[in-house]
């Protein structure tokens, strides 16, 4: 089910001809109108998507998108299932197109709509001193918010939540019975840009952070919102202190993530996954269900269900222990 994003204003439609001009792609069709950009899984037939790795071929085969941004290497593959728009740099082109549809997405500065007086309209919550609330925020009953915490506009927080001190929450939808401990930053933009000799090209982040019911976020966690997809923390998943979750990461249900674990962007973590302290998960990986990852490990490839791994690069824990007796 697609969840409506209330945080970024979007242009309703852009002619394909104008999109192609912006991306320096040859196309003369003046009639086709595109309503947005989306990932392969969620794209509608009148949206554009993108493809730059055979790892996502299974998504390409099932996508509804009629037009796909890709490079010359994957032209023939994409044309089997959709219409390829050939560019030199896929991700930079996605960033350009995202900026066309969401022209204000890069304005990720201060929410000047927040006000300490807004908190008074929430009758069934407990709150500390100097709590600042933006416009159109929804907070469920029996939720507590600590001192010096900022909840920016349009954020949704469910009932029976505990939001600690010195926390910033933006661009986020938070479920019921969620605990967020002191000092965490939830929903800031991801670390996405393309290096240049003069001015680096920043990548718009128009996704959200979704934290599902009964989750716990430890002290001083940073959870980046998604670029196009959302960043998701599953039901009953607990994150220890100083964990970093990058854009588009999807962590499943009932996971246990201990201190100082780092997730690079767009990795998918299954259900009932346990990760030891200071482990690192590289980007665009798939970690299966019931996986155990030892502390200090470096995960650089997919891990199948029910595996136990450790070391760098992470390997079957029995092999690791044999080599390090």
Q: Which residues are catalytic?
A: 247
Residue 194's CB is within 10 A of a number of other CB atoms, namely: 12
Kindly tell me the burial class for residue 107, based on how many C-beta atoms sit within 10 Å of its own C-beta (0-12, 13-18, 19 or more).
exposed
Supply 212's token pair.
Answer: 């599902």
DSSP string, 82-136: SEEEE-S-HHHHHHHHHHHH-TTTT--S--TT-BGGGGGG-TT-EE-TT-EE-TT
Q: How far apart are CA 94 and CA 89, in angstroms?
A: 9
Q: How far apart are CA 221 and CA 233, in angstroms?
A: 12
Left if phi > 0, otherwise alpha if psi is -120 to 50, otherwise beta: which for 74? alpha
Supply 205's token pair.
Answer: 């982040």
Residue 129's CB is within 10 A of a number of other CB atoms, namely: 10
Strand partners, 14: 34
Supply 251's token pair.
Answer: 């962590």
Q: Specify the DSSP class assigned to residue 7.
A: S
DSSP string, 217-259: E-TT-EEEPPSSS-EEE-TT-EE-TT-EE-TT-EE-TT-EE-T
Supply 177's token pair.
Answer: 């019975």
Report the b/e string of 17-55 with b at 16+ CB within 10 A. Answer: eebbeebebebeeeeeebbbbbbbebbeebbbbbbbeee
Supply 253's token pair.
Answer: 């249900």
């Amino acid at each position: 089910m697609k969840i409506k994003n209330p945080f970024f204003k979007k242009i309703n439609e852009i002619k394909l001809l104008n999109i192609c001009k912006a991306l320096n792609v040859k196309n003369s069709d003046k009639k086709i109108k595109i309503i947005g950009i989306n990932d392969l899984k969620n794209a509608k037939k009148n949206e554009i998507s993108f493809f730059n790795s055979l790892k996502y071929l299974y998504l390409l085969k099932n996508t509804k998108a009629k037009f796909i941004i890709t490079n010359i290497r994957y032209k023939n593959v994409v044309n089997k299932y959709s219409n390829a728009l050939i560019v030199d740099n896929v991700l930079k082109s996605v960033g350009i197109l995202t900026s066309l549809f969401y022209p204000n997405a890069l304005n990720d500065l201060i929410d000047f709509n927040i006000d300490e007086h807004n908190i008074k309209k929430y009758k069934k919550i407990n709150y500390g001193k100097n709590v600042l609330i933006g416009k159109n925020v929804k907070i469920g009953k029996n939720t507590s918010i600590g001192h010096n915490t900022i909840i920016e506009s349009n954020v949704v927080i469910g009932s029976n939540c505990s939001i600690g001190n010195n926390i910033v929450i933006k661009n986020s939808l938070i479920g019921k019975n969620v605990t967020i401990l002191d000092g965490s930053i939830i929903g800031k933009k991801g670390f996405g840009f393309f290096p240049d000799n003069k001015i680096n090209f920043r990548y718009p982040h128009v996704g959200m952070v979704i934290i599902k019911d009964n989750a716990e976020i430890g002290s001083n966690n940073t959870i980046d919102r998604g670029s196009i997809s959302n960043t998701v923390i599953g039901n009953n998943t607990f994150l220890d202190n100083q964990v970093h979750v990058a854009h588009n990461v999807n962590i499943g249900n009932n996971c246990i993530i201990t201190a100082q674990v780092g997730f690079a962007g767009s990795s998918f973590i299954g259900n009932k996954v346990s990760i030891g302290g200071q482990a690192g998960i590289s980007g665009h990986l798939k970690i299966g269900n019931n996986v155990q990852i030892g502390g200090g490990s470096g995960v650089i490839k997919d891990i199948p269900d029910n595996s136990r791994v450790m070391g760098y690069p992470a390997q079957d824990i029995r092999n690791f222990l044999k080599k390090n007796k």
